[in-house]
Amino acid sequence: MKNNLKKILTEIEVVLSDTEEKEVKKLIKAILKAEKIITIGAGRVGMMARGFAMRLIQLPILLYRP
């Protein structure tokens, strides 16, 4: 299990190191500006989309999740 956790943390570090802060800020502004947000996906992407939708529901944002 520790080996799996290390792999996951390494992957997260890689993603975060390639992510530009100004792009994240741009995404946040777009999310807050949007009237509605739709999340959709199948398989693993669907699971991530549902997780993202669940986090957005905690914000005062209208959300459609099929």
Q: Say if 4 falls within a structural domain.
A: no
User: Which among 21, 17, 19, 20 is positioned nearest to 9, based on CA atoms?
Assistant: 17
Position 59 in a domain: yes
Give the pTM.
0.57
Question: Where in the sequence is the domain holding 47, given as residue range(s)?
Answer: 20-66
Does a structural domain hold residue 54?
yes
Tens of pLDDT, residues 1-44: 888 899 999 998 998 888 888 998 998 899 888 888 888 999 99
Residue 9 falls inside a structural domain? no
d(CA 30, CA 48): 19
Our count of domains for the chain comes to 1
Q: Identify whether the C-beta of residue 59 lies closer than 8 Å to the C-beta of residue 33.
A: no
In a domain, 2, yes or no: no
- Is the pLDDT at 66 greater than 80? The verdict is no
